[in-house]
Amino acid sequence: MIVGGGDDSSINHVKFTTMHKLKRTIAHERYENFEDSITFDKSDADGLSFPHYDALVITLHITYTDVKRIMVDDGSGTCIIHPRVLVQMGLEDKIIPRCITLTGFNNAVEQTFRKVSLPVLAGGVMLETTFHLMNQEMTYNAIIGRPWIHAMRAVPLSFYQVIKFPTPWGVFSIRGKPRTAQECYKIAQDCAHTKPLKGASAEAYQSAMSGTKVNPIVDAIRDPDAVESCKATIKDLDPVQLDDADLTKKAYIGHNLANLSKYCEFLTNHANLFAFFHSDMPGIPRDIATHKLNDDPLHPPVRQMRRKFNAAINEAVSEEVDKLLANGSIRESKYPQWVANVVMVKKKNRKWRMCVDFIDLNKACPIDSFPLPHIDQLIDATAGHELLSFLDAYSSYN
């Protein structure tokens, strides 16, 4: 429990994003005239075993990711997130320096070194919340304190394992995870388990603080809590360094595989088959593979009118075009008969994906009556084989 700390005496740096200011203003007016009471009754105890002493541990949607193992602590004067979560989410570039002093219930003093502002979505209400980072071991991925609780006007109750708060659409409830809370407690008590985690977490912290990559021997993805935080489907993985000169070039294989050294040797011997950048994907010779469109020669060519974009999108287009020109994926065309505009799509990581509007070109191509095989044919084709290989396109259009 953290009884003190924060940047000021206000609501500890919790602010609202610009896109949600209007929604929050309307919600605030509704909160003032909110007539429904936040109540707890026996129905909230369904599925719980009494007596219990479990902390309130929930899952929240933070920056397009469902982060598990978040403890709700109304005794904490600040919100804290573990660096390993930011490493797994790829948000190290959003960390900024900030040092505040936190005081515990026993007057123990701890200092934070960095902070990060992340959008937290709950019950249809999104709040831009400031999280502070500490170089301390903890079994939780994050701690939600009074800044977020008070801003949401939430009422947490660990006895019923639920937190309730008003929204413009009524009272919203988030159920706790008693089993997860018990697991976190056991991990904290099991010194033999927490010591191995310390090395991986320290490396993840140093990576987040300095902007450097973690040591290839100890990778944050080996930390089960880090994998759990991003709701990943992967199991325990071992990193395989593909290039000793560049620590970012690595692959991951299952930790429980038999003949692990054999697979590691195979990957390192074929490291040139992996592409980490556009420059790693040179053009394929035409004598190996050539793709041609079966377009109708009688269909008149279409030149689309040039679409205008803002400065940010124009910069993203220029960067993508320069990458494709550098690796030979595209070339300049003079006096083309077909002209199609690019379409920029915002990805979940807030970066841009460049697509092309081929709507007119598709009209000139005959429709394939059987474009893809049926699922039963695909399943039958796997019979008698030990392995099934999946091809992951690097940038969708490759």
Count of domains observed in the chain: 3
CA dihedral 350, 355, 359, 363 (to 10 degrees): -140
pLDDT in tens, 310-347: 988 999 999 889 888 887 778 888 888 899 999 999 88
Give per-residue pLDDT as tens, 342-395: 999 988 777 888 999 999 998 998 887 777 777 788 788 888 888 777 665 555
59 and 186 inside one domain: yes
> Distance between CA atoms of 107 and 211, rounded to whole angstroms?
33
**Statement to judge: residues 164 and 111 lie in one domain:** yes
pLDDT of residue 48: 86
Residue 29 lies in a domain: no
218 is a domain residue: no
Residues 293 and 374 reside in one and the same domain? yes
Answer yes or no: are the C-beta atoms of 6 and 13 closer than 8 Å.
Answer: yes
Distance of CA 236 to the CA centre of its chain: 18
Same domain as 267, residue 314: no
Closest CA to 14 of 132, 139, 191: 132
Is 145 in contact with 120 (CB distance < 8 Å)?
no
Mean pLDDT score, 11-32: 41
Q: Is the residue at 230 inside a domain?
A: no
**What CA–CA distance (Å, rounded) separates 390 from 348?**
23
Average pLDDT over residues 133-156: 89
* pLDDT reported for residue 145: 93
Residue 182 lies in a domain: yes
Residue 203 domain flag: no
Instruction: Indicate which CATH number applies to the domain containing 97.
Output: 2.40.70.10
From 31-35, 151-155, 303-307, the region with the lowest mean pLDDT: 31-35
- 100-125 pLDDT tens trace: 888 877 777 888 888 999 999 998 88
Pair 243, 271: CB distance under 8 Å: yes
Tell me the C-alpha distance between 328 and 235, whole Å.
Answer: 37
What's the pLDDT tens digit per position in 274-285?
877 767 766 667
Instruction: Indicate which CATH number applies to the domain containing 294.
Output: 3.10.10.10
The pLDDT-based confidence of 19 (bands split at 50, 70, 90) is very low
Q: Percent of the chain beyond pLDDT 70?
A: 75
Which residue segment(s) compose the domain that 250 sits in? 237-276
Give domain status of residue 304, yes or no. yes
